């Protein structure tokens, strides 16, 4: 995987999508904290107490209490045109009903608290330039279904393929009833669309086509607006603050949202978001609720209710799949407690229906959507591959049907979405986004290597091959491991400095930990297969020693990595597989304990596992998802209680017996005697075949501090005090 270049590529001019200008409004001063997100004001034009027809809402919109939108040159407003009704301006404004609050209630503690909630949104401790809370939160719309209809005409989304408001797309494959030659005979307009009885054909290039179908014909389409209203009410008035947390903590290292487009739509009052997507963003953000001092003083929204609404809305959205459906599913699967193999497989199927497995580089869709599709596609790829590893089940994505190009810098472009240029980012935000993009790209490259490990050693075909090899299975595994080993080593050698495990800046969260943990999980997954194939009764003791010593080195390196994690690492965003990747380290240690040929070696792993459990327990105070790794380690320990006691080295030597004395005349030829058994075993188990590290001599016995592999310089973490468990002579 080539590191992402961090230079902004030169891009040619793109056509500007025209957006109808907002109607001038009479300027009025709102009370503090009551500035509305859904009704931005404008100070263009003279101020007048008498509003013209162009400025005031029509009678129908006034009755519905919804926003009245009239495009330039149109005779009817959007809602009246949609409902095919007359758009009149006859009725006078309805008198407003206000609550009369007496003096006692006005100054009551409860009322004071309510005013503090509705006041200016709390600033975030993680950033001095909040993205969304620059505008105060507004109450949820009283009639969400009308608010939804009012924002159907969004030119920013009208040109897209996977984010349109009133219709969804489904990919037409070559073997489907829609033959590509027959499709080519259709008459396509300037938007590359052709309407016929079953829907609208949307051609994205010369040989790939989609069918666009209306959302209204799908199940419970009207209920989507109600679900969105429920989501907003559950987090009100903290929605903008939670979204700020999301974009500051999660988004930089997991950029599957088009940030600028999302933020601008949210600020401009658009409430036609996918309820599952918005709920997923809120749910993840709740993990950092206490990081905002002002949010921490309030009761946290009910995450369980949010999750219930999100999962129901996600299920319904699968009837009309869009990019937001996959985005929502991926975010919900990042929750530490999420563990849904079935949802992952559903998302893969939806992604294929949306054409995410295809190369969209030449498609006639906006440039920013191409980049967004690639980011979502690779996020889906990683979700499938890591789910396959942690669940031990077959992957659903195969290289033969995966045409997505490698991620590049231009795939993160935010320009050209129809809105004005985004606000300038601070130097700290630019650095964070820069590092996050590299982290995301490097995780993709590592996932591809991990997928090759799974395909090489854990498929049913591979398992059958190794079983048929019998006592030569280890040799076969080592031969197949070498190409993957080289790729893994090269990946690590080329790791950019921005994502290495350097000491983090104090008080600044960094998510680089999940990348390096995934690296150790990949190494362990490879060595685990080698250890499983070893036969303690095989007379080739040299090969047994080489393989087990290499495995020991990997285990110690991984444990030392966990031991050196700082609070800035532990409290950051961790990829969904991290919970199990921490567990795999303990599982690997338990495997080495169970297969140890001698009591001394078994005691060594027992001690190291006790140390690892203590480290996880302490770290779980800052990262509660580590409780899972602790519980799984305890489960493995319980299984090891049934393990028979290992014989000591002294007992093994004693049981082997003393060879008979040789005749005196043979002592003179002793120096010329060859080694016992077959020395050619050293050729079969060369250090290069079992060494997965960066140094040529890392198979020697080392202490924990010396054996810390996986990074170019172990001093990045400092040295670890020697203990009885990491002494070179502890075995």
**194: Cβ contacts below 8 Å, ≥ 6 apart:** 186, 187, 188, 200, 201, 203
**3-state SS assignment for residue 171:** strand
What integer pLDDT is reported at residue 170 of this predicted model? 95
What integer pLDDT is reported at residue 93 of this predicted model? 66
N- to C-terminal Cα separation, the chain: 39
Higher pLDDT, 103 or 224: 224
Maximal C-alpha separation, the chain: 126
pLDDT > 60? residue 96:
no
What integer pLDDT is reported at residue 421 of this predicted model? 64
- pLDDT, tens digit (0-9, with 9 covering 90-100), for 586-611: 999 999 999 999 999 999 999 999 99
| Angle at alpha carbon of residue 77, lines to 222 and 231, rounded to 5° | 30
- pLDDT, tens digit (0-9, with 9 covering 90-100), for 533-557: 998 777 567 888 899 999 999 999 9
The 3 state secondary structure assigned to 364-398 is CCCHHHHHHHHHHHHHHHHHHHHHHHHHCCCCCCC
pLDDT > 70? residue 714:
no
What integer pLDDT is reported at residue 68 of this predicted model? 81
Dig out the tokens for 106 from the structure.
Answer: 């006005």
What integer pLDDT is reported at residue 731 of this predicted model? 37
134 band by pLDDT with thresholds 50, 70 and 90: low
What integer pLDDT is reported at residue 719 of this predicted model? 35
**496: Cβ contacts below 8 Å, ≥ 6 apart:** 3, 438, 442
What integer pLDDT is reported at residue 209 of this predicted model? 95
Q: Report the range of poorest mean pLDDT among 389-393, 462-466, 468-472, 630-634.
A: 468-472
What integer pLDDT is reported at residue 166 of this predicted model? 85
Higher pLDDT, 7 or 202: 202
- pLDDT, tens digit (0-9, with 9 covering 90-100), for 202-250: 999 989 999 999 988 887 777 888 999 999 999 999 999 999 999 999 9
pLDDT winner (highest mean) among 62-66, 358-362, 691-695, 706-710: 358-362
State the Cα torsion 421-423-424-427 to the nearest 10°: -130
Mean pLDDT across the chain, nearest whole number?
A: 79
Give me the mean pLDDT over the 299-328 stretch: 96
- pLDDT, tens digit (0-9, with 9 covering 90-100), for 414-432: 887 777 666 677 888 889 9
Higher pLDDT, 52 or 654: 654
575 band by pLDDT with thresholds 50, 70 and 90: very high
Give me the mean pLDDT over the 76-94 stretch: 74
What integer pLDDT is reported at residue 157 of this predicted model? 79
What integer pLDDT is reported at residue 521 of this predicted model? 98
What integer pLDDT is reported at residue 668 of this predicted model? 37
What integer pLDDT is reported at residue 221 of this predicted model? 74
What integer pLDDT is reported at residue 139 of this predicted model? 47
Instruction: Please return the burial class of 648, using the count of CB atoms within 10 Å of its CB with bins 0-12, 13-18 and 19+.
Output: middle
What integer pLDDT is reported at residue 547 of this predicted model? 93
For residue 402, how many other CB atoms are within 10 A of its CB? 15
What integer pLDDT is reported at residue 730 of this predicted model? 40
Give CA separation, 107 vs 104, 121, 298, 327, in Å: 6, 21, 20, 45
pLDDT > 70? residue 686:
no
What integer pLDDT is reported at residue 503 of this predicted model? 82
Q: Report the range of poorest mean pLDDT among 350-354, 612-616, 657-661.
A: 657-661
Q: List the one residue out of 377, 356, 383, 272 whose CA is nearest residue 317.
A: 272
Give me the mean pLDDT over the 558-570 stretch: 96
102 band by pLDDT with thresholds 50, 70 and 90: very low
- pLDDT, tens digit (0-9, with 9 covering 90-100), for 296-311: 999 999 999 999 999 9
65 band by pLDDT with thresholds 50, 70 and 90: low
Give me the mean pLDDT over the 38-67 stretch: 55
Long-range interactions of 380-383: CB distance < 8 A, separation 24+:
380/326, 380/330, 380/347, 380/348, 380/351, 380/356, 381/444, 381/447, 382/443, 382/444, 382/447, 383/330, 383/333, 383/344, 383/347, 383/576
What integer pLDDT is reported at residue 140 of this predicted model? 52
Q: Report the range of poorest mean pLDDT among 26-40, 201-215, 460-474, 587-601.
A: 26-40
Higher pLDDT, 197 or 553: 553
492 band by pLDDT with thresholds 50, 70 and 90: very high
Backbone angles phi, psi at 449, to 5 degrees: -70, -45
pLDDT > 70? residue 51:
no
- pLDDT, tens digit (0-9, with 9 covering 90-100), for 161-179: 999 888 999 999 999 998 8
What integer pLDDT is reported at residue 422 of this predicted model? 60
> Burial letters for 665-678: b for 16+ Cβ neighbours within 10 Å, e otherwise?
eeeeeeeeeeeeee
pLDDT > 50? residue 6:
no
574 band by pLDDT with thresholds 50, 70 and 90: very high
> CA 426, CA 513: separation in Å to the nearest integer?
24
- Report the share of the chain in percent with pLDDT over 70: 71
Domain residue ranges in the chain:
59-90, 157-213, 217-412, 427-643
**112: Cβ contacts below 8 Å, ≥ 6 apart:** none
What integer pLDDT is reported at residue 553 of this predicted model? 96
Higher pLDDT, 695 or 278: 278
pLDDT > 80? residue 571:
yes
Give me the mean pLDDT over the 75-87 stretch: 75
Q: Report the range of poorest mean pLDDT among 13-22, 52-61, 323-332, 497-506.
A: 13-22
């Amino acid at each position: 995987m080539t590191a992402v270049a961090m230079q902004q590529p030169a891009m040619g001019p793109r056509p500007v999508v025209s957006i109808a200008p907002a109607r001038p409004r009479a300027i009025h001063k709102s009370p503090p904290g009551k500035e509305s997100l859904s009704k931005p004001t404008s100070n263009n034009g003279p101020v007048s107490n008498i509003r013209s027809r162009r400025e005031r809402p029509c009678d129908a919109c006034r009755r519905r209490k919804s926003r009245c939108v009239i495009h330039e040159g149109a005779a009817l407003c959007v809602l009246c045109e949609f409902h095919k009704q007359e758009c009149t301006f006859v009725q006078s404004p309805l008198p407003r009903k206000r609550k009369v609050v007496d003096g006692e209630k006005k100054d009551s503690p409860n009322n004071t608290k309510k005013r503090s909630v509705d006041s200016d949104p709390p600033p975030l401790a993680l950033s001095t330039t909040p993205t969304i809370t620059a505008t105060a939160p507004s109450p949820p719309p009283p009639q969400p279904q009308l608010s939804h209809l009012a924002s159907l005409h969004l030119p920013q989304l009208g040109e897209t393929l996977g984010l349109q408001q009133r219709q969804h797309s489904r990919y037409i494959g070559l073997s489907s009833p829609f033959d590509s030659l027959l499709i080519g005979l259709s008459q396509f307009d300037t938007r590359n669309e052709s309407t016929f009885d079953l829907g609208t054909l949307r051609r994205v290039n010369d040989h790939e086509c989609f069918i666009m179908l209306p959302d209204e014909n799908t199940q419970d389409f009207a209920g989507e607006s109600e679900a969105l209203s429920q989501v907003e009410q559950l987090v009100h008035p903290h929605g903008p603050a939670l979204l700020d947390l999301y974009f500051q903590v999660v988004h930089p290292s997991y950029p599957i949202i088009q940030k600028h487009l999302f933020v601008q739509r949210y600020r401009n009052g658009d409430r036609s978001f996918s309820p599952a997507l918005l709920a997923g963003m809120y749910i993840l953000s709740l993990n950092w609720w206490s990081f905002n001092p002002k949010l921490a003083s309030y009761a946290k929204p009910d995450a369980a209710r949010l999750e219930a609404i999100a999962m129901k809305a996600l299920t319904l959205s699968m009837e009309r799949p869009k990019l937001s459906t996959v985005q929502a599913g991926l975010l919900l699967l990042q929750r530490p407690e999420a563990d849904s193999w079935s949802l992952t497989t559903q998302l893969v199927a939806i992604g294929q229906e949306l054409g995410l497995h295809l190369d969209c580089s030449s498609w006639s869709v906006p440039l920013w959507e191409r980049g967004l599709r690639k980011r979502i596609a690779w996020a889906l790829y990683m979700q499938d591959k890591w789910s396959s590893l942690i669940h031990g089940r077959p992957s659903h994505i195969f290289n033969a049907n995966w045409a997505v190009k490698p991620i590049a810098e231009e795939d993160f472009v935010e320009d050209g979405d129809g809105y004005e240029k985004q606000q300038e980012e601070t130097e700290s935000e630019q650095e964070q986004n820069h590092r996050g993009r590299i982290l995301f790209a490097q995780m993709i490259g590592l996932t591809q290597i991990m997928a090759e490990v799974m395909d090489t050693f854990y498929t049913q075909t591979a398992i059958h091959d190794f079983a048929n090899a019998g006592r030569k299975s280890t040799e076969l595994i080592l031969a197949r491991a070498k190409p993957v080993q080289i790729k893994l080593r090269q990946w690590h050698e080329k790791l950019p400095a921005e994502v290495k495990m350097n000491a983090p800046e104090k008080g600044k969260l960094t998510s680089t930990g999940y990348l390096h943990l995934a690296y150790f999980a990949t190494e362990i997954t490879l060595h685990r297969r080698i250890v499983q194939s070893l036969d303690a009764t095989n007379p080739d003791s040299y090969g047994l020693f080489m393989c087990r010593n290499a495995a020991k080195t990997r285990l110690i390196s991984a444990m030392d990595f966990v031991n050196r994690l700082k609070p800035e690492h532990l409290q950051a965003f961790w990829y969904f597989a991290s919970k199990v990747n921490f567990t795999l380290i303990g599982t690997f240690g338990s495997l080495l304990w169970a297969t140890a040929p001698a009591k001394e070696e078994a005691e060594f792993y027992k001690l190291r596992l006790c140390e690892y459990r203590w480290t996880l327990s302490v770290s779980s105070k800052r990262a509660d998802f580590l409780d899972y790794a602790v519980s799984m380690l305890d489960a493995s320990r319980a299984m090891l209680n049934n393990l028979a006691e290992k014989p000591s080295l002294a007992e093994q030597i004693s049981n082997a017996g003393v060879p008979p004395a040789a005749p005196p005349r043979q002592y003179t030829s002793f120096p010329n005697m060859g080694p016992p058994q077959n020395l050619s075993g050293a050729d079969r188990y060369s250090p290069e075949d079992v060494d997965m590290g960066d140094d040529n001599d890392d198979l020697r016995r080392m202490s924990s501090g010396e054996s810390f592999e996986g990074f170019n310089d172990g001093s990045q973490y400092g040295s670890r005090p020697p203990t009885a468990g990491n002494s070179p002579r502890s075995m």
